[in-house]
Amino acid sequence: MQILSLEVFDWCGLDHATLSTFSDRLTVVSGPNEAGKSRLVEALHFALFESHRGAASHKRELRSWGSSAAPRVVLRFAVDGQEFTVEKQFLDRPSCTLSTAGRTWTDRQALEELKRLVDARALNDRKSVAADLGLWPLVWVRQGRSRTNPSADLNADVQSTLESTLADQIGAVATGPVGLQVVDRVEKLASDFYTPTGRPTGTLLAATTARDEARERLHKATEAVSLVRTLADEVTRLQAKQESLVERERDARTRVAQARAADDDAASARVELEKQELIRQRAEDAVLAAERALEEQVALTERLEAIESRLSSLTTEASALDARAAGLEDDRIALDEERAAAKLLVQQARDLVADARALRQHTQAVALLEAREAQVTTAATLSERSTALRAAVDASPWDAERLQALDQAAQAATAAAAALAQAAVAVRFTAAEATTLSGETLSAGQERVFSTVRPLELVLPVGTVTVTPGAATPAEREAADQEARTALAAILGDCPSVAEARLRGEQRRDASIRLEECTQRLAALVPNGLAAAQASLEAQRDDLGATPTAALPLADAEQSLATANQSVDTLDARSTLLADALRDLRVERAACDTEAATLREEAAALRPRLDRLDDAETLTTLKGEAAQRLAAAVTLSSALRDAFAEAGGAETKATLRRRERALAALGSRLQQVRTTLATTVAQLEARVGEDLHGEVQAAEAEVTRTEAALCRIEARAESLRLLLHTLQGARDALQERLVGPVRQRIEPQIRRIFPNSRLAFDEAGRVIGLETGAVTEPFEKLSGGAQEQLGILVRMGLASIVAGDRRIPIVLDDALVNTDRRRLEAMLAAFDEAAESQLQVIVFTCHEADFDQLGADVHHALTGTRS
């Protein structure tokens, strides 16, 4: 379809306005505000889509203020190359005429034909205009509508057409209404099982909960039955325990009775036994008494006989002792005489020893004196040598200190001479013929050598030769040399040379060493001095006196003294032994007397006791009779003891006590078991009346039912989820393919303005905004400029896709008011490209200059104002 011209009469304040031509590419209608642009856009709309009938408010507003003329519009357009003219008059005598070459339709027929031409579903129902006008809402961008999401103007017909067109282009079948319904239905079905995030909900959650609750009920019911069974088992166990305890208690009572009877029997036996034990004890005492009497009688008799015998022996022993004492006394007297003689000999030997010792001491003193005299003589010789050496040392001045000073002075003199020698000049003069030199006459061939450190003049007959040494300081070196020589001479003194001085120093050191040796030896020989030693020697000679005499040599004298002392000691020992023997005899003799007296006293005491006892024969008879009585008593006691032991002996009471305690314990345990049993039976009886089995089975059935239901529901839910995912996947894949041509058509223009973004589509393939990276910016969130730029580009793109080969107009009324200069250039380029394809672009604007660069083929400048 192509708009060719538009003319209005009495139209919203416009008495008459004409847009005589429209380019099939680009047409700009400009003019200031109130120039009538939007009214003309409305006129286009009324000419094509509004019924001429009716006087609704939006139609009444068409009438010019204060005018009674009916609003009228005449539109020429072409469809598929055929030109049509539609003329509509509103409000007064409304009419509609559609004409083409050779044919005219009026009124309803005109509207029907017009509807067919514009490919609209209906033209006269204003409410359904957007839904029924096909593509027109998309390409008819009225003032203020440019920022609306194009998807809002994409009705179902266009959507379907678009999908079909795109599907045709990519060779696939579009989603279609059936597909959308199915997806919607599956989503609703799945929502009864899963939340959008995939969590169970609705029927699935309820089934899971029902299953869990059923399991819980079954668990509780089973536990109740288990409890009853446990109680029943416990009752059975307690009953068996009770029976066992009753039996055991009965046995325990019997055993207690038996123990009590045994204890009674044992008590009787014990009484008889105790009586017999007394009898046996008395018999045993009688036997013992008889035995003791007999033993005493025998012992007394034997003792008295022994005493008599011993007294006789003691008398004999006393006599012998007395004889031995007399002999010993005689021996003692003879020994005393021998001891006196021996002591005299000892005294004589001591005198001989003393004489011999005095002689030996004198001889030793003479020898010592002679030796001392030799030492004093040696000391005198050493003293003289020492005096001579000290004089030599003292006479020589060349001690070590002076020798050290000499060495230093000699070294200094040598060094100074060397320094001077370095500064000296040597001059050799050889006379070639006889001549004089400094007054000395020289013959031919005679030589003179001069060495000097000072300027020297050699006077020759023919002139004077002046020799000047080259050194810088000859005078100082000469003075130093002289000074060193003077110092060396001072140290040498009268010594002719340094070597001599050193020789003399060596000699002095040797003399000093020898002097030290002499002094040390002298001190050893005569520590107090030679004079004192000589005086002491003289005094010792005076003390020596005359030489004593001796009868025997000292050894012989000492041997004689030892022999005499030994003889005395032997006699003293014999005297001591003799005295001891004599004393022992006297003690032994006294003991004999004492023992005899004691024995006599004992015998005197024993005889009365013996007299009181029967004789041995009588006592033996009595003992035999008592022993017979004891044997009989022992036999009877043994028998009674056996009888007591047979009755249980001393254990019967302990056994009785133990069994009584056991019986009491059994009774207590039995009572406990009875109490517990009664309690347990009561608990059991309280539960057995319930239909627990029914509850268990009902719960089991419920678990089975809920599990089966859950299984079915889970299968249903899973299949729905699978179905939904499959459908969504298939739809997404298809939509991605479907939107491919849209992207291909629109996105080159999009990138001019939004270089890093691409179109974002919803699941129905509608543009919903821009994708930048992973972020989707909804259309509604874009800036105003971006909204109108993106909206117009999408509208043009979709329109061109839907139009296919047909040419259709796109009408933009003040569409880019929020667009900056740079983007406006891009948009104009997009308009131009759209016009080059199949869009008839008609721009109404109040910013005429903005579209200077568009290159519009037709430009209408409106100047009129509202009348």
Partner 1 sequence: MTTFLHTADWQLGLTLGRVEGDRGARARNQRFDTVQRIAALAVEHAVDAVVVPGDVFDDNSVGPHHVQALRDALRDFPCPVLLLPGNHDPATADSALRRLAPAEHGLDHVHVLLTDEPVVIGEATFFPAPLFRRQSPDDPCAGLPERGDDAGIRVAVAHGSVHDFSRGSDPNNCIDLRALLAKGFDFVALGDWHGLQIVDPRAAYSGTHEATKFSEKDPGQVLLVEISEAGATPVLTPLPVARTRWVAPPPRHLDGGADVDALLAELDALEDRSWTLVQLRLSGVLSLTDRTRLSVALERHAGELMHLDADLSEVRQQLTTEEVEQLDTPGFLGSAVDTLRALDTPDAERALATLVHLIHGAA
DSSP secondary structure string for all residues of 636-678: HHHHHHHHHHHTTTTHHHHHHHHHHHHHHHHHHHHHHHHHHHH
Taking CB under 8 A as the binding criterion, the range among 112-120, 344-352, 501-509, 682-690 that sits at the site for partner 1 is 682-690
Shortest distance in whole angstroms from residue 657 CB to partner 1: 39
Binds partner 1 (CB under 8 A): choice among 178, 371, 462, 605? 178
| Cβ density class 647-656: b for 16+ within 10 Å, e for less | bbeeebbebb
- The footprint of partner 1 on residues 154-173 (CB under 8 A) is 167, 172-173
Q: Considering only CA atoms, which of 747, 718, 784, 845 is closest in space to residue 189?
A: 718
Report how far residue 529's alpha carbon sits from residue 673's, in angstroms, rounded to the nearest whole number: 132
Report how far residue 817's alpha carbon sits from residue 827's, in angstroms, rounded to the nearest whole number: 12
Report how far residue 795's alpha carbon sits from residue 815's, in angstroms, rounded to the nearest whole number: 12
| Binding status of residue 692 toward partner 1 by CB under 8 A | yes
Report how far residue 545's alpha carbon sits from residue 697's, in angstroms, rounded to the nearest whole number: 158
| Binding status of residue 689 toward partner 1 by CB under 8 A | yes
Taking CB under 8 A as the binding criterion, the range among 343-351, 481-489, 569-577, 699-707 that sits at the site for partner 1 is 699-707
Binds partner 1 (CB under 8 A): choice among 697, 744, 783, 837? 697
Helix (H) or strand (E) holding 131: helix 129-132
| Cβ–Cβ < 8 Å for 245, 670 | yes
Q: Considering only CA atoms, which of 422, 424, 446 is closest in space to residue 433?
A: 446
| Binding mask of the shown chain, residues 730 to 759, with x at each position contacting partner 1 by CB under 8 A | xx-xxx------------------------
Report how far residue 386's alpha carbon sits from residue 392's, in angstroms, rounded to the nearest whole number: 10
| Binding status of residue 198 toward partner 1 by CB under 8 A | no
Cβ-based nearer residue to partner 1, 279 or 764 = 764
Q: Considering only CA atoms, which of 783, 800, 790, 788 is closest in space to residue 839?
A: 800
Report how far residue 839's alpha carbon sits from residue 810's, in angstroms, rounded to the nearest whole number: 7
| Cβ–Cβ < 8 Å for 162, 802 | yes
Residues in contact with 804: Cβ distance below 8 Å, sequence separation at least 6, in sequence order: 165, 838
Cβ-based nearer residue to partner 1, 228 or 568 = 228
Strands 775-778 vs 757-761: parallel, antiparallel or unpaired: unpaired
Binds partner 1 (CB under 8 A): choice among 75, 139, 186, 794? 186
Report how far residue 420's alpha carbon sits from residue 744's, in angstroms, rounded to the nearest whole number: 120
- The footprint of partner 1 on residues 275-334 (CB under 8 A) is none
Q: Two tokens at 467?
A: 């020799």
| Binding status of residue 244 toward partner 1 by CB under 8 A | no
| Binding status of residue 723 toward partner 1 by CB under 8 A | yes
The rounded Cα 345 to chain-centroid distance in angstroms is: 108
Helix (H) or strand (E) holding 378: helix 202-395
Cβ-based nearer residue to partner 1, 503 or 722 = 722
Taking CB under 8 A as the binding criterion, the range among 12-20, 40-48, 432-440, 692-700 that sits at the site for partner 1 is 692-700
Shortest distance in whole angstroms from residue 250 CB to partner 1: 22
456 DSSP β-pair partners: 467
Question: How many residues are listed for the chain in this entry?
Answer: 867
Report how far residue 858's alpha carbon sits from residue 120's, in angstroms, rounded to the nearest whole number: 28
Helix (H) or strand (E) holding 609: helix 554-612
Cβ-based nearer residue to partner 1, 391 or 711 = 711
| Binding status of residue 679 toward partner 1 by CB under 8 A | no
Shortest distance in whole angstroms from residue 129 CB to partner 1: 28
| Binding mask of the shown chain, residues 633 to 672, with x at each position contacting partner 1 by CB under 8 A | ----------------------------------------
Binds partner 1 (CB under 8 A): choice among 20, 33, 67, 181? 181
| Binding status of residue 220 toward partner 1 by CB under 8 A | no
Taking CB under 8 A as the binding criterion, the range among 62-70, 287-295, 696-704, 817-825 that sits at the site for partner 1 is 696-704
Shortest distance in whole angstroms from residue 742 CB to partner 1: 17
| Binding status of residue 174 toward partner 1 by CB under 8 A | yes
Shortest distance in whole angstroms from residue 712 CB to partner 1: 10
Shortest distance in whole angstroms from residue 695 CB to partner 1: 9
Binds partner 1 (CB under 8 A): choice among 455, 553, 624, 694? 694
| Binding status of residue 719 toward partner 1 by CB under 8 A | yes
Residues in contact with 260: Cβ distance below 8 Å, sequence separation at least 6, in sequence order: 656
With vertex at residue 563, the alpha carbon angle to CA 558 and CA 567, rounded to the nearest 5 degrees, is 145
DSSP secondary structure string for all residues of 251-288: HHHHHHHHHHHHHHHHHHHHHHHHHHHHHHHHHHHHHH
Binds partner 1 (CB under 8 A): choice among 516, 718, 820, 836? 718
Taking CB under 8 A as the binding criterion, the range among 29-37, 276-284, 318-326, 723-731 that sits at the site for partner 1 is 723-731
Strands 425-430 vs 435-437: parallel, antiparallel or unpaired: unpaired
Taking CB under 8 A as the binding criterion, the range among 121-129, 287-295, 522-530, 701-709 that sits at the site for partner 1 is 701-709
| Binding mask of the shown chain, residues 586 to 625, with x at each position contacting partner 1 by CB under 8 A | ----------------------------------------
Shortest distance in whole angstroms from residue 226 CB to partner 1: 10
Binds partner 1 (CB under 8 A): choice among 69, 130, 131, 189? 189
| Binding status of residue 684 toward partner 1 by CB under 8 A | yes
| Cβ–Cβ < 8 Å for 63, 47 | no
Cβ-based nearer residue to partner 1, 652 or 680 = 680
| Binding mask of the shown chain, residues 221 to 240, with x at each position contacting partner 1 by CB under 8 A | ---xx--xx-xxxxxx--x-
| Binding status of residue 710 toward partner 1 by CB under 8 A | no
Question: How large is the C-alpha radius of gyration of the chain?
Answer: 86
* CB-neighbour burial class of residue 843 (10 A; exposed 0-12, middle 13-18, buried 19+): buried
Strand (E) positions, 639-793? 757-761, 767-772, 775-778
Shortest distance in whole angstroms from residue 251 CB to partner 1: 24
| Binding status of residue 678 toward partner 1 by CB under 8 A | no
| Binding status of residue 415 toward partner 1 by CB under 8 A | no
Cβ-based nearer residue to partner 1, 577 or 686 = 686
**Binding positions for partner 1, rule: CB under 8 A:** 167, 172-176, 178-179, 181-182, 185-186, 189, 224-225, 228-229, 231-236, 239, 681, 684, 687-694, 696-698, 700-702, 704-705, 715-716, 718-720, 722-723, 726-727, 729-731, 733-735
